[in-house]
Amino acid sequence: MNELLKIRGLTVRFYTYEGVVQALEDVNLDINRKETFGLVGETGCGKTLTALSILRLVFAPGQIESGSIYFNVDNGNEPVDLLTISEDQIRAIRGSKISMVFQEPGAALNPVYTIGDQISEVILLHRRQEVAQKALRTVNKLLAGKKGFISLLAKPVWLMERGLYQRIAQNPRAEGPRIVSRILLVRGLLWRLKGESIKMTIDLLKEVEIPDPARVARQHPHQLSGGMKQRGVIAMALACSPKLLIADEPTTSLDVTIQAQILQLLNQLKSEFESSILYITHDLGVAAEICDRVGVMYSGSLCEIAPVDEIYANPLHPYTKALLAAVPKPGVEPHAIGGIVPDPLALPSGCRFHPRCPSATEICREHIPTMGELAPGHFVACHNCQGETGGSSR
């Protein structure tokens, strides 16, 4: 079992006043362990929605109609279907096993809390036991320390703290500490949790190469540059060493030099944390740089999946070809794709690309093409490519 995530037949619809929007239609894709899977396509083709479906965060009026998303938490264990598990279970996975980096770091961070507050929140939520153990060690050290006047006074408090931390270390959801954390003043007894989590946050910020992490942890988002904010968001996503990191156009709003740094950082962290990355982008150049495999999406479904070298050297689907031809290159006039993206409320029959496809035939208008493996690891959903393995790139 090499797959970490298997999406099968994912269908998402939006029920709007104008009608039903078929936002995702029968999406199938696999993400392997320790691989970077690139999801490319035009704006509005459903890339982000696929990512949100994985976290089960599709917002109203959107609704996941059918399909399943199998996620293999630990090697060997039975994979779970993220779409059928309980709300508590999916919350335990969000932010710890699967986390997400968003497009706009400025919008993704809450302006009224410090970076440290926002990152430590994840640590306090998902790594509570670990934090409590650290706090426990500190308290034990204090209790074993030199006896003096101050320690005599503080001892009862330390003992109470120790009791609470012990309980959390055994069971992060223990009732006692949870009640304590809700009572004003008394919850001050849990202050070391916050302190320890801030220390862990600072380590994380160091990991994402933020200079002077202790200072940045105390700053608010508006005091940082876009690149620094995105590093903060990445640190937040990596706080629990997730199995899958979803990066939704993380470099789109940054300038080119910062973009290169962030890409490098993601690559480096991926090997360090042994995570898989689902990298969403509309930039084929970026995808070529960072991804192992690429899936091309058009109007709510995938039309081609192939290893990254293969897709650039030998694109088979007419849409992929057109997309590659549209990439601006120095000295070459880019080819715009003819026609327009179909209205999601009135999708064309058959293959969704046929009105814009130069090689469309009668069958394309009538039947939705199915995904077929034309070369090892190279999947295409096109009536005209079936059997044609040696299509030339333009």
Partner 1 sequence: MQLWGFALEFRAYIIRRLALVVPVLFGVSLLVFALLQMFSPVERAALYVTDPKQFANITEIIEKYGLNDPLWVQYGNWISQIFHGNLGWSKVVSLPVTDAILNFLPATLELAIFATPLIILGGIFLGSKAAAHKDKAVDHITRAGAIMGWSLPTFWLGLMLLMIFYGFFSGLFPPERLSTAMNIVVHSEAFTQYTGLHFLDAILNGNWQVLGDSLRHLFLPVITLTVVQLAFIMRLMRSSMLESLGKGYILTARAKGLDENTVVSKHARRNALIPVLTIAGYIFALLVNGVVITETIFNYKGLGWWAWQSAIHLDIPSVLAFALFNGILFVLTNLVVDLLYAKIDPRVRLGGQAA
Binding footprint of partner 1 on the chain (CB under 8 A): 55, 57, 91-96, 99-100, 102, 104, 107-112, 121-122, 125-126, 214-215, 218, 220, 222-223, 233, 236
Shortest CB 82 distance to partner 1, Å: 13
List C-alpha distances in Å: 163 to 124, 126, 143, 195, 331: 18, 21, 13, 18, 71
Closer residue to partner 1 (CB): 78 or 87: 87
**Partners of 12 in the β-ladder:** 24, 64
Q: Is the peptide bond before 177 cis (omega within 30 degrees of 0)?
A: no
Shortest CB 378 distance to partner 1, Å: 32
Structure tokens at 262: 């962030």
Closer residue to partner 1 (CB): 121 or 161: 121
**Partners of 29 in the β-ladder:** 7
Closer residue to partner 1 (CB): 66 or 89: 89
Closer residue to partner 1 (CB): 236 or 269: 236
Shortest CB 316 distance to partner 1, Å: 34
Closest CA to 262 of 292, 293, 235, 296: 235
Shortest CB 128 distance to partner 1, Å: 12
Buried b (16+ CB within 10 A) or exposed e, 248-269: bbbbebbeeebbebbbebbeeb
Half-sphere exposure of 201 (CA within 13 A, CB side): 28
- DSSP, collapsed to helix, strand or coil, labels residue 38 as strand
The Cα 230–Cα 250 span in angstroms is: 7
**220 sits in which H/E element:** none
Shortest CB 352 distance to partner 1, Å: 27
Closer residue to partner 1 (CB): 104 or 292: 104
Shortest CB 139 distance to partner 1, Å: 23
Shortest CB 21 distance to partner 1, Å: 18
Closer residue to partner 1 (CB): 62 or 315: 62
Closer residue to partner 1 (CB): 250 or 318: 250
The Cα 233–Cα 220 span in angstroms is: 13
